Structures are given as C-alpha cells and as structure tokens.
Amino acid sequence: MTCVLAIDIGGTKLAAALVDEAGSVLFSATRPTPRTDVMSALAALIAEVTDTGPPPEAVGIGCAGPLDLAAGTVSPVNMPSWRGFPLRDEVQKLVGLPTMLAGDAQCFALGEHWLGAGQGCTSLLGIVVSTGIGGGLVLDGAPLLGPTGNAGHVGHMSIDPNGERCECGGRGCVERYSSGPNLVRWALENGWSPGAVHNSSEGRSSVPPGNPSDGRPTDSPGEPSDGRSKDLPDAPADGKSNDPPSDPSRWQSNDPHVTPSGGPSSESAGVSRVPGEKADARMLAEDAAAGDPIAVAAFERGARALAGMIASTAAAAEVTTVVIGGGVSGAGKTLFDPLERALDDVAGLAFVRAVQVKQSTLGVRAALAGAANLAWRAVRTPSD
Ligand SMILES: [Zn+2]
C-alpha cells in the first residue's frame, strides 16, 4: 500500500492524513492550531499520523495564505506567529520527502476536482465564500498556482471599476460585495433588522441565535448527501470533538478552509450592531430564506457580483465547472438560485453560458483532499 501525507493548516485547526492513490484515507488526525509554536504541534501531528500507517512517498501541504510559493514561505493572517515562515523547508527537513505547498483555496479547488463536485471536469474554478473570498483554478486537469502561488485570487477580481474601495487596495472587488461580512454590512446599511421576519411571523424564539440549525437553509454546507463521501478524507473526523462535520459553527467561518483571505476568527464573521445579538451571514441567510426582503436583496446583490466574476473567469480560462464552498455556500438555494439567474443574465458567449455551478460536496475535507492530490502529482512527476 502506497500513500502520501496530506496536511491542511488553518487558523483554528491542523489536519493530516495518509491518503492512497484512489483518494481513500488510511489514517488521519487533527489538532487545534496553537497560538504559538505551531511547528511543534505540526511535527507532533505528523508523527502521530506517520507512526501509524505505511510510509508516505511525498507530502502535500495546503496552508492559509498569504504565501510565497517561490520561497516556500507562509504568513497566514490568522497565525501571527508565522510571518514568512519557511513551512515547506521545515516539513521537508522533518519528513525527508518531496514536499509540495499550495494555498488552501487552491487545494480546495484541487480536492473538489479530484474527488468532489468537479470530478471529471476539464477545467474548474473553486471558490470559497466565507469571511473573505478565495479561489483556485484547475486548468486542463492541472492546478494553476502561479509563480508566487497566488493564482486564483478571484475574490479580488474587480467587477466594478467604479465600485467601492476594497481592503486589498483595489476597487470594486467581488469580495466587497459577496463575502459573509460584506453581505451583512450591506443588509444592515439598508435597514435589515436581524430576526425581524421571525419576530413578525412566528416569534424570534423559534430561531434562537445560538441554534443555527433551527431555521437554517436546508442545504447543509458541503456535507455530501450521496455516496461520494466514501472515498474522501472524511477525517478531520478524528478531531470529532474539534470540528464535527455537522457543527453549525461552520457557518461562522471558523473553518480554516473557508477563511483564505483571512478573517481573524469566527467572531469577525459577525457584526455587532444590534444590542444583544450578533448579526452574521448565517442569520442573514435564515432571514432571506424566511422572506425578509432586505436579506433576499443582499443575497441577490452578492450573487450578482459572484456571477460577474464567474462569467469573466469562464471567458478568460474556459472553466467548465465552478464549485462553491465556504460558510456562505451553506445558504444553499438562498445563494445558488439568484446566482443561476444572475449568470443567465450576465453570461453571453455559449461556452460561458455552459458553465456548471455546483455546491461543494467535500466541505471541510476538500483542502486536505487537494493537498493529497498535490503530493501525488509530485510522485508521478518528481521535480528533483
Ligand atoms: Zn480586493
């Protein structure tokens, strides 16, 4: 049995798995990301996994950005103790194997292409919509990483050159319209009163703030309902207590895979403007699903911005499939229905109109699957 070691590094969780060539997980483990000395925790996690299974042939790492692929360094926004940290070299020293590094959103795209919603497609755009918006491209079957590893930053594609200034310094970036906090910001600025729709119809108590599963959209965020999960790294699973797949806290974007542009924590996904209650994207989705007109308008506006970005990317690269994950994608039809309508309006050329937009089926496991795929590519075509 041959396998590779896949590692996924985020601001809240470290995950590692031994994955065979078919994508099956032989062993996996997770642990929380410590505030300091992350490398020691990662080394212990790697030892735990590699001591248990067959020896891996290569290592693939997906890490929250930003990163510099040329230097092999990472500076995850959520991990202040790593700035310009030579992650690739440190891991390579530790394991003595070919070690590949990519951004977590790029690994998300690669994972969905390999084992998830984009299986079998030629070219894929993966989008992670959460605190920020990240992305990754798989073109003609191969990941497009770029010289510094920053290809696929679709959240900072401008969909309105006259639009608002973005935190990145650009103008009119899609993230400014469609990320969780920006959906919420726009809704609040336009008079959204969180939970008002429930108060007026059935009483706010039916959707308590602490119970997001109550009244949330029916589509769960990225949890496969079909048999596809059987070959997947279902494992951050070992860290059941840490991040169970059904954990509704994923809506608050504390999933390390869904904060590629780096919201500092789950708390940042919410905006505290209503006394006693934190407005967040999950709550906005609940209100939109319940018919709150401002919440509906916020999702339509965000979906339209995404549609512009998707149509532009499809026109440039002829991606055939778009897979959307991240906490906001858990809104299901509340996001995807207006997105389909907007794409129908925005897209013109036949090959752009043919793009298939799908919800992630791997969810939090996509980046780990992508990291494994990255490692397998290294074994098949060794670079050194
Ligand atoms: Zn931007």
Q: Are 196 and 294 in contact (CB under 8 A)?
A: no
How close is the Cα of 154 to the center of ligand 1, in Å? 9
Residues 148-158: pLDDT tens digits?
Answer: 999 999 999 99
How close is the Cα of 133 to the center of ligand 1, in Å? 9
Q: Are 227 and 330 in contact (CB under 8 A)?
A: no
Residue with tokens 């994950």: 325
Tell me, yes or no, whether 352 and 368 share the same domain. Answer: no
| Contacts (Cβ under 8 Å, ≥6 apart) of 219 | 330, 331, 332, 333, 336, 359
Q: Is residue 244 part of a domain?
A: no
How close is the Cα of 161 to the center of ligand 1, in Å? 11
The stretch 346-363 carries a mean pLDDT of: 97
Distance CA 348, CA 339 (A): 15
Tell me, yes or no, whether 188 and 294 share the same domain. Answer: yes
Q: Is residue 28 part of a domain?
A: yes
Tell me, yes or no, whether 80 and 171 share the same domain. Answer: no
Question: What are the structure tokens assigned to 134, written together?
Answer: 């990240």
How close is the Cα of 172 to the center of ligand 1, in Å? 7
- Alpha-carbon torsion (247, 249, 254, 260), positive or negative: positive
How close is the Cα of 219 to the center of ligand 1, in Å? 29
Tell me, yes or no, whether 45 and 163 share the same domain. Answer: no
How close is the Cα of 217 to the center of ligand 1, in Å? 28
pLDDT reported for residue 156: 96
The stretch 11-19 carries a mean pLDDT of: 95
CA dihedral 285, 291, 297, 298 (to 10 degrees): -20
How close is the Cα of 171 to the center of ligand 1, in Å? 6
How close is the Cα of 257 to the center of ligand 1, in Å? 19
| Range among 88-102, 208-222, 264-278 with highest mean pLDDT value | 88-102
Whether pLDDT at 333 is above 60: yes
Distance CA 296, CA 70 (A): 43
Q: Is residue 252 part of a domain?
A: no
Tell me, yes or no, whether 229 and 279 share the same domain. Answer: yes
pLDDT reported for residue 52: 87
Neighbours of ion ligand 1 (CB under 5 A): 156, 166, 168, 170, 173
Tell me, yes or no, whether 68 and 138 share the same domain. Answer: no
How close is the Cα of 338 to the center of ligand 1, in Å? 23
The stretch 103-126 carries a mean pLDDT of: 97
How close is the Cα of 259 to the center of ligand 1, in Å? 14
CATH of residue 373: 3.30.420.40
How close is the Cα of 151 to the center of ligand 1, in Å? 14
How close is the Cα of 90 to the center of ligand 1, in Å? 31
pLDDT reported for residue 275: 53
Tell me, yes or no, whether 110 and 11 share the same domain. Answer: yes
CA dihedral 58, 63, 69, 74 (to 10 degrees): -120
Q: Is residue 124 part of a domain?
A: no
Residues 39-71: pLDDT tens digits?
Answer: 999 999 999 999 988 999 999 999 998 999 999
Boundaries of domain holding 173: 133-234+257-361
The stretch 113-133 carries a mean pLDDT of: 96
Q: Is residue 373 part of a domain?
A: yes
Tell me, yes or no, whether 196 and 304 share the same domain. Answer: yes
Tell me, yes or no, whether 146 and 14 share the same domain. Answer: no
Whether pLDDT at 174 is above 90: yes
Banded pLDDT at 343 (limits 50, 70, 90): very high
Q: Is residue 246 part of a domain?
A: no
- Rama region for 295: left / alpha / beta (φ>0; ψ in -120 to 50; rest): alpha
Tell me, yes or no, whether 289 and 224 share the same domain. Answer: yes
Banded pLDDT at 200 (limits 50, 70, 90): low
How close is the Cα of 117 to the center of ligand 1, in Å? 27
How close is the Cα of 320 to the center of ligand 1, in Å? 25
How close is the Cα of 332 to the center of ligand 1, in Å? 25
How close is the Cα of 260 to the center of ligand 1, in Å? 13
Tell me, yes or no, whether 19 and 166 share the same domain. Answer: no
- Percentage, residues of the chain above pLDDT 90: 74
How close is the Cα of 153 to the center of ligand 1, in Å? 9
How many structural domains comprise the chain?
Answer: 2
Q: Is residue 125 part of a domain?
A: no
How close is the Cα of 173 to the center of ligand 1, in Å? 5
Q: Report residue 359: phi and psi, to 5°.
A: -85, 145
Tell me, yes or no, whether 203 and 184 share the same domain. Answer: yes
pLDDT reported for residue 1: 73
How close is the Cα of 175 to the center of ligand 1, in Å? 6
Distance CA 47, CA 41 (A): 10
How close is the Cα of 158 to the center of ligand 1, in Å? 7
pLDDT reported for residue 381: 59
The SS3 of residue 325 is strand
Distance CA 156, CA 45 (A): 34
Q: Is residue 276 part of a domain?
A: yes
pLDDT reported for residue 276: 53
How close is the Cα of 308 to the center of ligand 1, in Å? 15
How close is the Cα of 170 to the center of ligand 1, in Å? 5
